[in-house]
A and B are shown apart, each in its own frame.
Chain A
Amino acid sequence: MAEIRVLLIDDEEELVSTLVERLGIRNIEAEYVMTGAEGIELLGKKEFDAVLLDYKLPGMSGLEVMKQINELYPRVKVLLITGAGSVDEGGDEVPEEKASDVLLKPIDIEVLIAKLREAVGDR
C-alpha cells in the first residue's frame, strides 16, 4: 500500500504529470486534475490524505478550492503551491492557518515529500 495518497490540482499539465510520475517512483500514490471543480469532485469519490493545490487556477481560484476542501473534507491536508510573487499578484494573502504549508515553484521533490509527511503525520 502507498505511504501517502495525494491529489495534485494544477493547470500546468506537464508539471503535474511529471510530479505524479516522480512521486509514484517514491511509493506515493498521486493523481492529478487541472481544475478545482474536478479536484473537489474526485475528492468525493476517492480517498486522499493530502492535496497539492496551485494558488492560481483558472475559474475557481486556489483559495476558493482550499476553502471548499477544508469545509467538505477537513481530514484532507492542503498544501498550496505558488510561483514567487504570485500571492502579491492576486492582491490576496494566503491564509497559512488554513493551508498546511505553502510551497514556492519550482518545487524540490524531496522538500515536497518532507512537507507531505509532516502534514499527513499531523492529522
Chain B
Amino acid sequence: MNMPADGKQIDFREHGLTFFGTITASVTHELNNVMGIIEQTAGLLDDLCVGVDYGRPIEIEKLREISGRVVMQVDRGVDIIKRLNFFAHSVDESVREFELNALLKNLVSLAQRFATLKKISLEGRFNDFEHTVKTNPFILEQVVFICIQLAITPTEKDSRVILTSQQESTGSVILITGPPVPENDETKSKMELLRALMGLIKGDIELTAEDDRIYFKLTVPNISNEE
C-alpha cells in the first residue's frame, strides 16, 4: 500500500493484477481469433472434401492456398504466445537488468489491439543500440501502458501515438507522444497512479502539451535490488 498526499491509499498489488489481467484478456482474445480462423479453415477443407464425394474435384491451388492460410495463422499464434511469455517473465524478479527497447517493443505489440480498437496508430521508434536499464520491469510496463491508454484517445486531429527511448545523464528516458488527453477524473486518477508508480522505481514523469499533442517524459534511473 502507498499513501499519497490526498490520503487515498493505492493498492499496487491490485493495480498490478488488474494490469496483468487486462493484458492476458486481450492476448487470449487474439488467440481465440487465431483458433477461430484455423477452425473455419479446417471446416472449409472438410466442406471441399464433401464436395469431392459429390463429384466436385478440389484444385491443387486451392489446397495450397488453404495450407498457406493455416501456416499464417499458426505463425501469428506463435508470435502472440511469445509476446505473452516475454510479458509474463517480467514478474520473475522485482529488480533486474534488461534491454529497455526489447521490453518497449513487446509492450507496443501488446497494446496494439487497444489502439486499433480506437482506430489509433501506435508506433515504436527505437534505435538499434543496446539500451540496458536496471529497474522493476513490471512497474515500468504498467507505467508505459497507462501512458499509452491515456494517449490513445480518439481525435479528429493527428491520432498517432509514438514511443521512443533515449539515454540521458539522469537515466533512461522514454518519450510517449499522442493526441491531447481529456481533462476528467479518470485522467486525474491515472496521473496520480503514474506518479506513485514512478515513485516506486525512483523515476520521474513529466506531462507537457504543445501544438495539440501531449508528451509524456519518463525518466528511469538504474536502481539497486535493495530499493
Contacts and interface: CB of A to CB of B under 8 A. Distances in A.
B69 interface: yes
Given A12-B37, A18-B44, A107-B36, A85 B118 contact: no
Interface in B27-64: 28-29, 32-33, 35-37, 39-41, 43-44, 47, 51
B25 A85 contact: yes
B118 A58 contact: yes
B33 A83 contact: yes
A105 B32 contact: yes
B116 interface: yes
Contacts, number: 61
B104 to A, nearest CB: 23
B67 to A, nearest CB: 13
Contacts of B116: 11, 58
Which secondary structure characterizes the binding site on chain B? helix
Nearest to A88: B25
B117 A22 contact: no
A21 interface: yes
Nearest to A12: B33
Contacts of B72: 14
A89 interface: yes
Nearest to B25: A89
Interface string B120-145: 00000000000000000000000000
A113 interface: no
Contacts of A89: 25-26, 29
B188 interface: no
